[in-house]
Amino acid sequence: MNSVKRATSWHVLVCCWCMASCGDDPQQGVDDVLNGSVDAVDATELDTPSVDTALSDVSGNDIPLPELEPVSLLAIDLDVPPEDLLALDQGQIDEAKCKITIGTIQFSGVTLELHGGNASKGPKKSYRVVLPKIASGGLNLFGFGPESARRFVLNSSWVDPSFVRNKLTLDVVRKLGGLAPRIAFAVVSIQGSYHGLYTLIERVDEDFLENHQFSGEGNLYKAETDDADWSGSQGAMAGFDHELKDANLTNGADLETLFSVLQHTPVHYSTFVENVEPQLDLTAFMTWQLAHVLAHNVDTFNKNYYLYHETAGDHPFTVISWDADATWGLGDTGESVPFDDWHWYGTDRFAPRLFSIEEYKSEYLNRFREALSAPLSVSTLLAYVNHYVAVIHVEAIRDTTKWRPGVDFEKKVAELQQLIQQRHTMMKNLINVLH
């Protein structure tokens, strides 16, 4: 991949979060950290790097930047009748028709839907956009050149006033080889009047799957509620929405088989190799766990992820990340969440079974340690954040002035930088104790 100019580029990062201990009593190691036998981090001792130090770490040393990907800051105008937008925002209608201009390309007959759970309760709304057709030659939304793209989310980032947590986390997943949507930024106007800064999120749909060399003709399930805890105890489809369907399979039959195997296979390495690995891509599962554990994601593992089963051929399920605003010290309503747990895998019902097996536990902890030491070092994570901020800085302050008067955007970024240092140190200490 060719390098790009610093002013219009960024790269990927990592994030994750987990739960509980297993194996040879790692809780004793956790207790050692908590009791001070292993050095833990004191947030009050951390220097907070300035937003301006895009190429320096907390000690002022130069950071060798990784290979950078392009970042997009798009101009988007929504031409929607004011009465329809008001009705949509108030939940009186499910969708509104509008025109949209992305850069210089205009579409008519666009579908606009309200997006989000807790975030939809804020004054600045998020929207799902569905274009009526693919632009001739495709759209260059993410800086990788024109490609098929009909559906995306305009996320208000109401949960995260720094605007970058979601992008940071999902980019990290992709950097580690996992599947996650790409994220751009967009300055949105409505009928020509400035509205605010948004993150533009790629939808997980047929286009996404085809871009990742899947046929898109299998089963795609979205985990919508906490019933999607990987147990299937409330029924295979409990908590899931069936986004794409293979017409040759009954509704959720393959998902039922998956959860039955995950929960009832005897907990031994050989039986997991024989029975579980053909059903679920465990490398992808570990990547998902690792990334969201580090980021302390409090709103995934039991929802806010996708499972895709490529039914043409003999393929296992794979996990796709989604929605990572509630990370790095924030909860799902934007509240501060302390790093007061020392868990190293997720709250789902499958991870404790998998990581009670020494071979899988060792593989996972090795990957975690290597990630913290190299591609996800503190200096690298801070450099990534500063690259994002360099792109959106002016527009983020403009948005904050309009929608969050009294909130200091630069202070929010500095808080995030400090939380990254704190979480990284905490997890590095814990992984060293466990492995």
What pLDDT is recorded for position 346? 96
Q: How confident is the model at residue 184 (pLDDT cuts 50, 70, 90)?
A: very high
Residue bearing the bigger pLDDT, 248 or 124: 124
Nearest to 296 by CA among 255, 272, 329: 329
Contact 291, 173 (CB under 8 A): yes
Mean pLDDT of the chain: 85
State yes or no: pLDDT of 410 exceeds 70. yes
Band of the pLDDT at 420, cuts 50, 70, 90? very high
The dihedral built from the CA positions of residue 397, 412, 155 and 69, taken in this order, carries a sign that is positive
Q: How far apart are CA 214 and CA 105, in angstroms?
A: 29
| Averaged pLDDT, 167-173 | 96
- CA geometry: angle at 56 spanning 53 and 57, to 5°? 110
Global pTM reads 0.86
Place of tokens 């195997």: 261
* Antiparallel, parallel or unpaired: β 151-155 and 105-115: unpaired
Q: Does the pLDDT of residue 147 top 70, yes or no?
A: yes
**pLDDT value of residue 62:** 53
Nearest C-alpha neighbor of 174 from the set 152, 142, 148: 142
CB-side exposure of 308: number of CA atoms within 13 Å?
25
Q: What is the 3-state secondary structure (H, E, C) of 155-210?
A: ECCCCCCCCCHHHHHHHHHHHCCCECCCEEEEEEEECCEEEEEEEEEECCCHHHHH
Categorize the per-residue pLDDT at 14 as very low, low, confident or very high, splitting at 50, 70 and 90: very low
Radius of gyration from C-alpha coordinates of the chain = 22
The whole-angstrom separation of Cα 202 and Cα 241 is 18
Per-residue pLDDT of 273-319, as tens digits, reads: 999 999 999 999 999 999 999 999 999 999 999 999 998 888 999 99
**Whether pLDDT at 107 is above 50:** yes
Chain Cα centroid distance, residue 166:
5
Q: What percent of the residues of the chain are helix, what percent strand, and what percent coil, each to the nearest 5?
A: 35, 20, 45
- Tokens 């994030």 map to which residue? 15
3-state secondary structure of 142: coil
Compute the C-alpha angle 216/221/226, nearest 5°: 160
Selection from 16, 301, 308 nearest residue 172 by Cα: 16
Residue 119 φ then ψ, to 5°: -65, -25
Q: Is 295 helix (H, G, I), strand (E, B) or coil?
A: coil
Relative to beta strand 183-190, strand 193-202 is antiparallel
Closest CA to 143 of 205, 200, 69, 197: 69
Q: What is the pLDDT of residues 323-373, one digit of tens each?
A: 999 999 999 999 999 987 778 999 999 999 999 999 999 999 999 999 998
Q: Pick the closest to residue 212 from 36, 220, 358 (CA basis).
A: 220
User: What are 78-88's pLDDT values in tens digits?
Assistant: 999 999 999 99
pLDDT of residue 44: 30
Q: Tell me, what's the pLDDT at 64?
A: 58
